[in-house]
Amino acid sequence: MKKALIILFLAFAALLGVQCGGDGENSLSSSDSSSRSGSSDSGSSFSSGIGIASHVMVLIPAGTFLMGSPVAEANHGSDETPHPVTLTKDFYMAKYQVTQELYQTVMGVNPGYFSTINNREPAEGEAAARRPVETVRWYDALVFCNKLSGLEGLTPVYTINGSTDPSAWGTVPASSSTAWNAVTMNISANGYRLPTEAEWEFACRAGTTTAYNLGDVWSGDWGWYSGNSNDQTHETGKKTPNAWGIYDMHGNVWEWCWDRYGSGYYTDAAAGTDPAGPGTGIIVRVLRGGGFSFPAQGSRSAFRFSENPSFRSDSVGFRVARTVL
């Protein structure tokens, strides 16, 4: 029933201009358990050197938490088996979803459906440039990360066809690409990357064990969803942040993660320490966080979703992470 509901939402979104890669897989879930051990420095942040105010990174110390959700949690999904996860490395997580101004600066284009270029003005009092970028493929996020790393003099994380230079990768595929799907990630590089699914949930929860990172009973003060968004994205940072000062982990736009999606991956022993998702053989990639056109249940801390890496939608964006060396 739950999966059917999400498919219905996607079908409705398609009427509003959503574009899809065609062979994606959908999956949903919820979360509750995420007890954490880590440094008291959680939440310290720094701004980047490229002069974009919305580009701020928050330090997330290594720690252990319970990923997934208990069966008793409302809307618990079968792919959310609770299991302890240890992240052995500190990392940085973006304070905000990647904004249109940041994406434009790095990529030279703004693909956003909700942009002034398309005569879609933001809500009153909100800055159009600070709305999250959307209508981006997972593939686009790889290019963005390596380009941003280059602009800041950092070591690029992603390699495709033996190169870390996005200009050597060719045009971003509009459908699933074997070469791009074989991308490798150098987790030890200090450049920008997508967070792993475990890093995303750890940062989202910020030490909480509730269904949402601010409690068990949803409040519209926590994020933009179908009940308060007026069917559009909003400037990042307008809702209540979590305990580590990270905004919009619930709602606004869905966020791409690095991992391939596996419905049974949470029961795999390999998912216990620094998990990065299933290996080769799976095409679809994980999406987290919910979106402006979806019900609140899609914004729960452990809710899982997935799509083809060539999929793009006006409700899908991303945020970046970095390994601390």
Segment 108-128, tens digit of pLDDT = 999 999 999 999 999 999 999
Determine the longest span between alpha carbons in the chain, in angstroms.
50
Contact 117, 153 (CB under 8 A): no
Distance of alpha carbon 121 from alpha carbon 290, whole angstroms: 22
pLDDT at 227 over 80: yes
Over residues 137-188, the pLDDT tens digits come to 999 999 999 999 999 999 999 999 999 999 999 999 999 999 999 999 999 9
**So what's the pLDDT on residue 274?**
96
**Confidence band (pLDDT; 50, 70, 90) for 269?**
confident
Residue 188, Cβ density class (10 Å: 0-12 exposed, 13-18 middle, ≥19 buried): exposed
Domain count of the chain? 1
Residues 6+ apart with CB under 8 A from 170: none
Say what the pLDDT of residue 164 is: 98
User: Domain residues for 18?
Assistant: 2-323
Q: Does residue 68 come out as left (phi exceeding 0), alpha (psi in the -120 to 50 range) or beta? A: left
3-state secondary structure of 190: coil
Does the pTM surpass 0.75? The reply is yes
Token output for 210: 């509730």
What pLDDT shows up at residue 128?
97
Contacts within 8 Å (CB) and 24+ apart, 80-85? 80/29, 80/30, 80/31, 80/266, 80/302, 80/304, 81/266, 81/267, 82/32, 82/33, 82/266, 83/266, 83/267, 83/271, 83/272, 84/272, 85/198, 85/202, 85/271, 85/272, 85/273, 85/275
Q: Is the pLDDT at 22 greater than 60, yes or no?
A: no
Q: What is the CATH number of the domain that holds 203?
A: 3.90.1580.10
The pLDDT confidence band at residue 45, using thresholds 50, 70 and 90, is: confident
What band does 50 get if pLDDT is binned at 50, 70 and 90?
A: confident
Strand spans (E) along 68-175: 83-87, 91-94, 158-159
